[in-house]
Amino acid sequence: MKYGLIGSALAMFAFVLMLDGDVLGGDKPKYTIKQVMKEAHKSGLLKKVNAGTAEKADREKLAELYKALMENEPPKGDKEEWKKTTAALHKLAQAAIADPEAGKKVKVSCGDCHKSFK
């Protein structure tokens, strides 16, 4: 009987892990770095936000993408510098949600970031 209870408890724990793989590892970012680069930069979203012509939904999307970027780990380089750099981008993108003019302050130097972190 004791082994049956232990087996049942282990089976239940395995079931919970199967349903929610983040029990032990924490949450994964919603987007990978590659997805952020594609959706924020290559798509022209950042250019629209910089121009002040982006709709509120687009500005919210950029903030969401930069939040995911901040939550990712850099492929190389100093992790603390990565967090500082991406947090600054996220903060500026968040400010642009309420004020489209603030979107003009979101500046990205692709070469500098790639040199430091890619």
pLDDT digits (tens, 9 = 90+) for 14-62: 444 444 444 445 689 999 999 999 999 999 999 999 999 999 999 999 9
Does one domain contain both 51 and 80? yes
Looking at residue 27, its pLDDT comes to: 85
Buried b (16+ CB within 10 A) or exposed e, 13-31: eeeeeeeeeeeeeeeebeb
- 56 contacts 97 by C-beta, under 8 angstroms: yes
d(CA 118, CA 108): 15
Does one domain contain both 13 and 53? no
Does one domain contain both 84 and 55? yes
**Containing structural domain, residue 92:** 31-117
Per-residue model confidence as pLDDT tens digits over 61-103: 999 999 999 999 999 999 999 999 999 999 999 999 999 999 9
Does one domain contain both 20 and 41? no
Which 8-state DSSP code applies to residue 52? T
The structural domain count of the chain equals 2
